[in-house]
Structure 1
Amino acid sequence: MFFGIDIGGTKLQFALGVNEEVFVLDKVPTPGSYCDLLKVVEETYFAAERKFGGKIEGIGIGLPGTFTKEKVVWVPNIPYIEGQDLAGDLRDRLEVDVFIGNDAQLALVGEVWKGSGCGYGNAVLMSIGTGIGGAIMIGGKVVKGRRGAAGALGWLNLDASVPGDKNHGYLENHASGSAIARAGEAQNPPMTPYEIVEKAKKGDALGVKIMTQAGHLIGAGLASIASVLDTEIIILSGGLSEEMDSFRESMDASFLEYAAPGVDQVPIVKSSLGNLSGAYGAVRLAMVRGDLWIG
């Protein structure tokens, strides 16, 4: 058995792999301290062993940030983890091997293993939610990067005349859920992102304009990364991907316009595992004992 944990800013999603089958376990609020985090993981770990009647052979963990083999370096939404030896501390407590990966990279692993990317060895995932992240797979291996954060697609720059932002990349600033939220807040009366999406679906001019612009930028960004990598498939995940119908037309048109010859035939599909893809990928990370990466 193999234990997977997708750690997010608001929730922990646990999963267990047993003979290639994945069982989704508890989803709990992210604890408020490092000690409480270790305690929740330990309790859920032993509860899973009791329930399934076996010994867990490894743990995989997805984190929304950067890290080295020894330390977690940067997790913007869970700062108490920064500087901690999460893998080592859990290894000491549970006496089992622990492997850590970037959450977006593990989401791609989950999709290629059990989701929309099955059968592909070269794939790109773009996660579109509050921000924009991503991951790149080449030859069945995920590009890790020096700090474990390769594939940060939100940093794609599509307009060098716009001043840079040290905290957010161009694509994230202009096409993420946060960008749509800002556009809604600027209206009179203000609108929520949900209201903007609903208006776009109904053909309202303002909603269509905002979502069309987001789709245009997402499509151009995907065209750039697909042209550079010559990938086989692009998978969209994250909350905004669930509303793809509201920006699909402009995204596809932009992708066709900016992609290199031949690349414009690359399929762009929605995640089939949804918000469980990271937990699936964490299970897979444990199963292969961390052997997922290049770079």
Structure 2
Amino acid sequence: MSSDQVIGIDLGGTAIKLARFNRSGDVLAELQIPTPQPPVPGAVTMALCEAIDQLDPDHLADLVGVGLPGPMDANARVARVCINLSGWDDVPLADWLEPRLQRQVTLANDGNCAVVGEAWLGAARGFEDVVLLTLGTGVGGGVILGGALFTGHNGAAAEPGLIGIHPDGPPCNSGNQGSLEQFASIAALRRLCDVDPRELSDRADAGDLQAKAIWQQYGTTLGVGIASLVYVFTPQRVLLGGGLAAASAHFLPDVRREVEARVQAVSREGLSIEACALGNGAGRLGAARLALQRLSG
């Protein structure tokens, strides 16, 4: 077995994205499979084993990093809870996978994986203080402070999508109410206009004024949440990833405008708010990077 190659996995509610990388972060092979429905831990574990065997039948990689939507334990081996996956509560996924795969496994929050991927080869490279939000089925995220991934007490930080922005807003699977996720996820956008986000983006591209107004409303509310995060972390850069970031041209101006209006100048000095550079590939790349950092000799 060789540690010259590594597998990175991004486990989402609808799809599992896998890739095999070399130590420079180049993609050597990639695969995407649907997430089992319902995405209970046992079914997901078996799907992961089959997909990894398909991606790397010759066992060229003996390190595996898995990004999941929720916090891990401090040792990065147990998924404490996966907020938008059913039945996930203190699941020892690394212990389940390692004997089946005969490879070393480490776990991480998917938002943390995304920010680590962007810091390695994307839009966070060269920045010491970064906040990233993933805008998709849920709203996840990750934070880099002083050049290091911020994981907080017991490894459960950061969950920037779960901050409260409206005391009487819709209930969140986290137990919060009116969280940023309830105003910035795909479901939240569809509450504003029950149209597929890609179609809504296409309409805005074509000059549809109603579609443009929906994206502006979305961007303004997202900007309110980001303003709070800027006050807490004073990052050099805020990055927006996940599926909805593909439409960022339609809402980024409103995000920036809202942050500028709400955040005092000293707290946003030098701040830039941009779309991620790696798209939906950031999570699996970051998972691979964390596996290399944690598991390599």
TM-score, normalised by the number of residues in structure 1: 0.84
Q: Which residue of 1 aligns with 2:106?
A: 99
**2:67 is matched with which residue?**
62
Shift in alpha-carbon separation, 1:218–1:97, aligned structure 2, 3 A = same
Greater Cα offset, 29-38 or 149-158: 29-38
Aligned to 1:183: 192
Instruction: Name the counterpart of 1:188.
Output: none
Q: What corresponds to 2:121 in structure 1?
A: 114
Could you tell me how far apart the structure 1 residues matched to 2:264 and 2:280 are? 31
Contact 1:4-1:280 at 8 Å conserved across structures: yes
Deviation at 1:214, TM superposition (A): 1.4
Q: Distance in 1 between matches of 2:49 and 2:257?
A: 49
Any stretches of 5+ residues in structure 2 without a counterpart? none
Which residue number corresponds to residue 152 of structure 2?
145
Q: What TM-score, normalized to structure 2?
A: 0.83
1:247, CA displacement in angstroms? 1.4
- Give identity over the alignment, percent: 29
Structure 1 regions of 5+ residues with no counterpart?
186-190
Distance 1:156 1:75 in 2: 17
Name the structure 2 match of 1:252: 256
SS at structure 2 position matched to 1:124: strand
1:241 aligns with 2:241: no
Matched residue SS, 1:2 = strand
Q: Give me the CA root mean square deviation.
A: 2.6
Alignment check: 8 A CA contact 1:255 1:264 kept: no
> 2 CA distance for matches of 1:48 and 1:197?
33
* Structure 1 residues 100 and 201, CA gap change in structure 2 (3 angstroms): same
AA partner of residue 197 (structure 1): S
Contact 2:31/2:55 (<8 A) preserved: no
- Alignment CA distance shift 1:290-1:236 (3 Å): farther
What is the CA distance between 1:184 and its match in structure 2? 1.5
Counterpart CA distance in 1 for 2:254 and 2:46 is 47
Q: CA offsets, 1:210-245, max 9 Å, x none? A: 222211122232222123212111111012111112
Report the count of equivalent residues.
283
8 A contact 1:15–1:22 mirrored in 2:
no
Per-residue displacement from partner, 1:17-42 (whole Å, max 9, x unpaired)? 22313314111122356455444433
2:12 aligned residue (8, 13, 17): 8
Classify 1:224/1:45 alpha carbon distance in 2 versus 1 (closer, same or farther; 3 Å).
Answer: same
Corresponding residue SS for 1:67 = coil
Which residue, out of 156, 162, 173, partners 1:155? Answer: 162
SS in 1 for 2:133: strand
Local SS of the residue matching 2:91: coil
